[in-house]
């Protein structure tokens, strides 16, 4: 049975001022980390505010808040335990080798192109998408993709210092 009507904001504000320090202390004792304790207490007060018309009538509303903090803390420890149990299974990937000099040069050159040209070049050549798929993804005609690829290749060649006419002219 949820009560309807406005919440007495002044009453809740006063209750918060009187009890907040104690609840954070309790949460800190439960979890052992002050920032986490502050987060847990804040979450408990948010939940109390949402139900204040009912909780404000309890004989000891602070015990309800402590129960919420206890449950939130238990859930937090449970999630940490699951992560730790799964940590051996979820090993980080092996260290990736550093990018090649060619990759660094290409990335630097691509940054100098207009975004539309950069996007079609990356989708077509680096992501290996056919021109029709590139056109569908960016919402333009196939001919527009082809012209952007041609202009992008020419601009990329200029940025990289490749002599005119030496860039690849194949359009898949």
- Domains in the chain: boundaries: 9-86, 101-160
Q: Give pLDDT, residue 41.
A: 96
Given pLDDT bands bounded at 50, 70 and 90, which one contains residue 171?
very low
Average pLDDT over residues 61-66: 93
Pull the structure tokens for residue 151. 């202009």
Could you give the CA distance from residue 56 to residue 5 in angstroms, rounded to a whole number?
14
Question: Could you report the per-residue pLDDT of 8-40, keeping only the tens digit for each?
Answer: 788 999 999 999 999 999 999 888 889 999 999
Distance between CA 49 and CA 13 in Å, rounded? 10
CATH code for the domain defined by 9-86: 1.10.1740
CA distance 170 to 41: 63
Confidence check: pLDDT of 50 > 70: yes
Q: Give the C-alpha separation, 124 to 110, whole Å.
A: 13
Structure tokens at 54: 């009912």
Task: Determine the Cα–Cα distance for residues 106 and 113; give it in Å rounded to an integer.
Answer: 11
Q: 153 exposed, middle or buried (CB, 10 Å; 0-12, 13-18, 19+)? A: buried
Separation of alpha carbons 28 and 22, rounded Å:
10
Provide the pLDDT for residue 170: 46
For 101-160, the fitting CATH number among 1.10.630.10, 3.30.565.10, 1.10.10.10, 3.90.1150.10 is 1.10.10.10
**Helices of type H across the chain:** 9-31, 34-50, 52-55, 61-86, 101-111, 115-121, 131-138, 142-160
User: pTM here?
Assistant: 0.48
């Amino acid at each position: 049975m949820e009560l309807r009507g406005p919440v007495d904001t002044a009453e809740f504000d006063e209750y918060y001022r009187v009890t907040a320090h104690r609840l954070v202390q309790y949460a800190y004792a439960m979890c052992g980390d002050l920032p986490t304790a502050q987060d847990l207490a804040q979450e408990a007060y948010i939940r109390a505010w949402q139900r204040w018309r009912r909780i404000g009538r309890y004989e000891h509303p602070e015990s309800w808040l402590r129960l919420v903090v206890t449950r939130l803390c238990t859930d937090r420890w449970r999630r940490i335990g699951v992560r730790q149990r799964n940590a051996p299974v979820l090993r980080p990937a092996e260290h990736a080798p550093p990018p090649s000099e060619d990759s660094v040069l290409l990335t630097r050159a691509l940054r100098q192109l207009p975004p539309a040209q950069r996007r079609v070049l990356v989708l077509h050549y680096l992501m290996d998408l056919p021109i029709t798929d590139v056109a569908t993804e960016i919402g333009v005609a196939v001919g527009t993709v082809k012209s952007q690829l041609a202009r992008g290749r020419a601009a990329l060649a200029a940025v990289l210092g490749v002599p005119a006419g030496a860039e690849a002219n194949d359009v898949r």
